[in-house]
Amino acid sequence: MRTIALLGQPNSGKSTLFNALTGSHQHVGNWPGKTVERAEGFFTQGEELYRVVDLPGSYGLTANSAEEVVTRTYIEHGYADIVCVIVDASQLERSLYMLADFAGVKSPVMLVLNMMDVAEQKGKKIDVQKIEKLLNIPVLGFTAANLDGYPKFFETLNRAIEKKAKISSDKIREIALREGDKARVANLKKLEDLIASLKFENREKFWVASKLLENDSLVRSEVETAVTPEHWKEIKEILDSEGSDGGLLTGEAKYRFVSEVLRDASSGEEKTVKLSRFDKIATHRIWGKIVAFFILVFTLAVSMMIAVPVIAGSFGFQHVAEPFVVQMCEKLGWWPSVASFINGVIIGGLAVTVAMMSFVFAILVTFGLMEDTGYLARSSYVFDSWLSRLGLHGKAFMPLFSGLACTGGAVCGTRVLDTRGQRLFAMVLLWSIPCGAKVSVVLFLASVFFGSAAPLFGVVYVAMIFASFWLSSRLFGNKLMPVNERVGMIMELPPYHKPHWKILFKTVARNVWAVFKKAIVVIWVVSLLFWLVSYSKDGVVEHSVLYTIGNAIEPFTQIFGMRWQLFISYLGGIFSKEASLGVMSVVFASTSDAFSLVARNEAGANLAEMMRAVVSIPEALAFIFASMFNIPCVLAMGTTYRETHSLKWMLAIAGYYFAISLGLAFIVYHIALWVL
Query: Do 107 and 174 sit in the same domain of this protein?
Result: no
In a domain, 449, yes or no: no
Backbone angles phi, psi at 418, to 5 degrees: -80, -45
Whether 540 and 592 have beta carbons less than 8 Å apart is answered as yes
Query: Do 525 and 668 sit in the same domain of this protein?
Result: yes
Between 128-135 and 248-265, two packed helices, what is the crossing angle to 10 degrees? 140
What residues in the chain have per-residue pLDDT under 70? 24-38, 63-66, 266-275, 484-495, 538-541, 577-579, 581-582, 585-608
Tell me how crowded residue 347 is: count the other CB atoms within 10 A of its CB: 18
In a domain, 240, yes or no: yes
Q: What is the rounded distance in angstroms from the CA atom of residue 355 to the CA atom of residue 670? A: 39
Query: Do 146 and 204 sit in the same domain of this protein?
Result: no
In a domain, 460, yes or no: no
Q: Which domain holds residue 220?
A: 170-267
Written in H, E and C, the secondary structure of 382-431 is HHHHHHHHHCCCHHHHHHHHHCCCCHHHHHHHHHHCCCHHHHHHHHHHHC
Query: Do 127 and 189 sit in the same domain of this protein?
Result: no
DSSP structural state of residue 357: H
Q: What is the rounded distance in angstroms from the CA atom of residue 628 to the CA atom of residue 638? A: 20
In a domain, 424, yes or no: no
Last residue of one domain, picked from the residues 222, 250, 267: 267
The closest alpha carbon to 118, from 95, 152, 84, belongs to 95
Whether 420 and 452 have beta carbons less than 8 Å apart is answered as no
Q: What is the rounded distance in angstroms from the CA atom of residue 105 to the CA atom of residue 507? A: 33
Query: Do 59 and 205 sit in the same domain of this protein?
Result: no
Query: Do 12 and 155 sit in the same domain of this protein?
Result: yes
Helix (H) or strand (E) segment spanning residue 39:
strand 37-45
- Specify the pairing of strand 37-45 against strand 26-30: antiparallel
Q: What is the rounded distance in angstroms from the CA atom of residue 65 to the CA atom of residue 57? A: 11
Instruction: Write out the DSSP string of 451-508.
Output: GGGHHHHHHHHHHHHHHHHHHHIIIIIHHHS-GGG------PPPPP----HHHHHHHH
In a domain, 390, yes or no: no
| Sign of the dihedral through C-alpha 65, 70, 74, 77 | positive
Whether 347 and 322 have beta carbons less than 8 Å apart is answered as yes
Query: Do 598 and 659 sit in the same domain of this protein?
Result: yes
The model carries a pTM of 0.69
Last residue of one domain, picked from the residues 229, 244, 267: 267
Residue 239, CB half-sphere, CA atoms under 13 Å: how many? 22
Tell me the helix, strand and coil percentages in the chain, rounded to 5: 70, 5, 25
Look at residue 591 in the predicted model and tell me its pLDDT: 45
| Sign of the dihedral through C-alpha 110, 112, 113, 116 | positive
Query: Do 158 and 181 sit in the same domain of this protein?
Result: no
535 sits in the region (left: phi over 0; alpha: psi -120 to 50; else beta) called: beta
- For the purposes of burial, counting CB atoms within 10 Å of the CB of 24, is it exposed (0-12), middle (13-18) or buried (19 or more)? exposed
Q: Which CATH number belongs to the domain containing residue 109 in this structure? A: 3.40.50.300
Query: Do 152 and 216 sit in the same domain of this protein?
Result: no
Look at residue 600 in the predicted model and tell me its pLDDT: 47
- Specify the pairing of strand 26-30 against strand 48-54: unpaired
Look at residue 629 in the predicted model and tell me its pLDDT: 92
**Residues 6 or more apart whose Cβ sits within 8 Å of residue 109:** 82, 83, 84, 85, 102, 137, 160, 165, 166, 167
Last residue of one domain, picked from the residues 249, 267, 285: 267
In a domain, 114, yes or no: yes
Number of helices (H), then strands (E), in the chain: 32, 9
Query: Do 141 and 217 sit in the same domain of this protein?
Result: no
Q: Which CATH number belongs to the domain containing residue 257 in this structure? A: 1.10.287.1770
Look at residue 267 in the predicted model and tell me its pLDDT: 62
In a domain, 397, yes or no: no
Q: What is the rounded distance in angstroms from the CA atom of residue 541 to the CA atom of residue 588? A: 10
Q: What is the rounded distance in angstroms from the CA atom of residue 104 to the CA atom of residue 102? A: 6
DSSP structural state of residue 122: T
Query: Do 159 and 246 sit in the same domain of this protein?
Result: no
Look at residue 540 in the predicted model and tell me its pLDDT: 67
Which residues in 204-213 are b (16+ Cβ under 10 Å) and which e? Answer: bbbbbbbbbb
Whether 53 and 69 have beta carbons less than 8 Å apart is answered as no
**Residues 6 or more apart whose Cβ sits within 8 Å of residue 397:** 292, 379, 380, 383, 386, 387
Alpha helices in 266-342 (DSSP H): 277-282, 287-332, 336-341
Q: What is the rounded distance in angstroms from the CA atom of residue 448 to the CA atom of residue 463? A: 22
Query: Do 34 and 116 sit in the same domain of this protein?
Result: yes
In a domain, 392, yes or no: no
Helix (H) or strand (E) segment spanning residue 257:
helix 248-265
| The total number of residues written for the chain in this structure | 676
Alpha helices in 40-169 (DSSP H): 66-76, 92-95, 97-102, 116-121, 128-135, 150-163
Whether 612 and 593 have beta carbons less than 8 Å apart is answered as no
DSSP structural state of residue 474: I
Q: What is the rounded distance in angstroms from the CA atom of residue 74 to the CA atom of residue 14? A: 16
Residue type at 130 in one-letter notation: K
- Using CA atoms of 646, 647, 653, 654 in order, give the dihedral in degrees to the nearest 10: 160
**Number of folded domains that form the chain:** 3
Helix (H) or strand (E) segment spanning residue 139:
strand 139-141
> In sequence order, what are the beta bridge partners of 81?
none
Q: What is the rounded distance in angstroms from the CA atom of residue 318 to the CA atom of residue 324? A: 10
Q: What is the rounded distance in angstroms from the CA atom of residue 178 to the CA atom of residue 415? A: 44
